[in-house]
A and B are shown apart, each in its own frame.
Chain A
Amino acid sequence: MTTLDVEVQRGPAAGTSTKGLPGRPRGRAVAGRSRLSFLGVKPGEGRKFISATTLLWLLAAAYGFPVLWFILSAFKPAGELFSYPLHLLPQHPTVKGFVEAWHSFDVALYFRNTFIVATAATVLTLVTSACSGYALAKYDTIWLKMFFVGMLATTMLPTEVMLAPSFLVVRDLRLYNNLAGVIVPTVYTATGTLMFRQFYKTVPDELLEAGRMDGGSELGLFLRVMVPIARPVFVTLAIFSFVWRWNDYIWPLLVINNPHWFTLQIGIESIVGAQNVNWSVLLGASVIGMAPLLVMYLVFQRFVMNTDLNSGLKG
């Protein structure tokens, strides 16, 4: 019997309030308390001292601190990055790393290319994922089932294994050395399709039946009823897809030869040398590279935070 099992059976200790946490299993709360004893929290006082919000703040700090260190390090001169003792704040702040990174490759051009790739791939991914997810959830044919199995099979192969055959297909389609060659293979994702399929599975069939009885066409029902209610899935997948495509490195490198069509990650990766790394320039380039994603998150924050996969279906 484990310690956790013992605590669950004992239940909450005297004086432990369960107020404010309706529905939470009692045993789990006590197990949580016992784990906090090393922080100096007396038995029975865990709930009072460590609220869920505090835990979330601790979690945010655990994730945020390395990011903060990374961003502040980008403002340190090369000689300060590894000098001992380490300092969180730059002792002699500089933007030299950013300037050198900006001149290491054509940042503006690579930005433009990455933006085209990420936007086009995201829009096309949303279209294909929504259509196929809907079909897999609401239509029942043997061909669709076979398609579903085939789609699931693609998730079982690592990307590296798919590189060579994908490359041959792209070459034979004459998409080599072309931005379309970067975009097209990324358009269909099993993850996106599954997200939509799972969502549409939760939508009652009666909704469709009612639409059909009102004389709605299949395409009309999909576009007018099913697409609007899936807005949260669209937003979630759009953000994921944009980030995936923004961070793609090896596929664009293999498919594009002309530096005029290189993407941002290729430029950033070119700073990492065979034998050593110019860290101050790499940090500057990495901060520049992640800035658009941060801006995108800030702009769409409202949608991300409000994403409720059951919206439109209550009642």
Chain B
Amino acid sequence: MRKHRSVAALVGAICSIATVAGPTGIAGAASQPQSLTFWVSTSSAQLQGWTAIAADYAKLTGTKINIVNIPYSGYTTKLRDAALAGSLPDVADVPSLDPVWVSKLIDLSSIAGNKSYHIYQSALVRDSAGHVLTIPSDITAAGMFINKSLFEKAHVSFPTNPAHTWTWTQFLAAADKVRKATGAKYDLVFDPSPARLRAFVYEFGGNYMHEGANGKFATTAGTYKALQLFKQMSNNVTMPNSVWLSGADPNALFKSGQVVAYWSGVWQTSDFAESITNFQWASVPTPAQPVQASDIEAGGLMVGFNNSSTEAPAAKKFLTWVYKPSTYAKLSSINGFLPVEGNLPIHYPFKSAAAQASFKLYKEEIALAAPISYYFGTAQQAWGLKGKSITTDPTVDQMDLYIQGKQSVQATVSNIIKGYDQQVGGA
């Protein structure tokens, strides 16, 4: 009987520990007016920038910033559930706006409109009342990387100045020449991403899918031309089909040294600086045919939540301080951000000359990018403010059917438009 009692006692003890263990650490965080909770989903390298400015802020104001690094997968769901539980953070760097909690956001117009901050106005969206509810934490752009060692081995030149870029025709001819001369496997790997496909289409003069004044999506002739070329490139020589059709990792393929070029974006720079050691790589200007464009979006969206009359002003004060040019320059330097503010003295910490050159090139390219490059990033924010979002982008699935010859380019475009109309269309 003693044995039974001890089992029951053990079970009881476990229940008690589990129940008591939780709340002690939590209640304190939310109830202390001198601390703010900041949610972000980032790498340990980029967490350093946030940690550094949070420490500066605590020293300056006495307000502690509790940074919580949330895994990217599950972040959106977690925010939704936190809104349901009335437990949203005070400040957050979110991947997108969600109708579930967008009504709880603080107006950041005074920060966005501060002339001395030089925040790119093209990256901002206002709601119907003229409020700015979010400001990008940084911006990202699609772009091209090459295996410089292969180009040099094949004695093929490549442009280095975005003002004198090449066309896709010239790029493909050069990549083909390099592949044949060096025995590489493919000319190009292309991220299986709607954003990368959009940038590609923009460069051919297409508008991909644009929402008209009537709330219906439509496209232009340049889109068909680009998508047809994309299918021609998906021939297992120019590009491997495995990336779009069966989930092969384009980043890993490029790092293998067997691929001449990689169509991806600025976020790869810090990864390549660290993990490519078996060949030299370089960022090269995005091709223009004839439009010089990219897909420029927010790396993250900074928001403040109106949790209480004490915390909301404190959250706004912190956000104002984050975008102060001296603070933001420090954050961008440590984190390797492409800044959302102009005129900033940023010194990236990379030892790699290729990484330093890459950031310089991206900054020059953004200055030259056609306005259409910003369309989708800002449109997504606008849809979020209207309570809509693209939960499932039909692009990759529809392109897969097109690549496999199961449907025409017209049907592909029509099906993508249908998906957008259903999810975010309507005036």
Chain A residue, CB-CB nearest to B268: A276
Q: Does A100 contact B (CB under 8 A)?
A: yes
Residues A272 and B71 in contact in the complex (CB < 8 Å), given A83-B278, A179-B18: yes
By the criterion CB–CB under 8 Å, are A103 and B74 in contact? no
Select the stretch in B117-125, B165-173, B252-260, B314-322 that faces chain A: B252-260
Q: Does A307 contact B (CB under 8 A)?
A: no
Give B3-16 as 1s and 0s: 1 = Cβ < 8 Å from A's Cβ atoms.
01000001100110
By the criterion CB–CB under 8 Å, are A167 and B81 in contact? yes
Most buried by A among B70, B253, B257: B70
By the criterion CB–CB under 8 Å, are A275 and B265 in contact? yes
By the criterion CB–CB under 8 Å, are B18 and A261 in contact? no
Q: Does A183 contact B (CB under 8 A)?
A: yes
By the criterion CB–CB under 8 Å, are B73 and A272 in contact? yes
Interface size bracket, B side: 35 or more
Interface size bracket, A side: 35 or more
By the criterion CB–CB under 8 Å, are A83 and B19 in contact? no
Cross-chain contact of B44 among A167, A257, A271 (Cβ < 8 A)? A271
Chain B residue, CB-CB nearest to A122: B14
Q: Specify which chain B residues have a CB less than 8 angstroms from the CB of A191 in the assembled complex.
A: none
CA distance A180 to B14 in the complex (A): 10
By the criterion CB–CB under 8 Å, are A127 and B11 in contact? yes
Number of A-B contacts (CB under 8 A): 144
Cross-chain contact of A223 among B4, B17, B278 (Cβ < 8 A)? B4
Residues A81 and B275 in contact in the complex (CB < 8 Å), given A257-B87, A276-B251, A281-B44: yes
By the criterion CB–CB under 8 Å, are B78 and A254 in contact? yes
Chain B residue, CB-CB nearest to A256: B22
Cross-chain contact of B267 among A104, A272, A275 (Cβ < 8 A)? A275
Q: Does A203 contact B (CB under 8 A)?
A: no
CA distance A72 to B26 in the complex (A): 39
By the criterion CB–CB under 8 Å, are A253 and B78 in contact? yes
By the criterion CB–CB under 8 Å, are B267 and A276 in contact? yes
Q: Specify which chain A residues have a CB less than 8 angstroms from the CB of B265 in the assembled complex.
A: 275
Cross-chain contact of A176 among B25, B41, B87, B275 (Cβ < 8 A)? B87
Chain B residue, CB-CB nearest to A85: B256
Q: Which A residues from 241 to 291 make CB contacts under 8 A with B?
A: 249-250, 253-254, 257-261, 266, 269-276, 278-281
Q: Specify which chain A residues have a CB less than 8 angstroms from the CB of B19 in the assembled complex.
A: 175, 178, 180
Q: Specify which chain A residues have a CB less than 8 angstroms from the CB of B274 in the assembled complex.
A: 78, 278
Give B235-262 as 1s and 0s: 1 = Cβ < 8 Å from A's Cβ atoms.
0000000000000000111011110000
By the criterion CB–CB under 8 Å, are B21 and A270 in contact? no
Chain A residue, CB-CB nearest to B300: A274
By the criterion CB–CB under 8 Å, are B11 and A77 in contact? no
CA distance A84 to B182 in the complex (A): 14
Q: Does B43 contact A (CB under 8 A)?
A: yes
Most buried by B among A100, A119, A120, A279: A120
A218 to chain B, nearest CB (A): 14
Question: Which A residues form the contact surface with B (CB < 8 A)?
Answer: 77-84, 100, 103-105, 116-117, 119-120, 123-124, 127, 163, 167-168, 171, 175-181, 183-184, 223, 249-250, 253-254, 257-261, 266, 269-276, 278-281
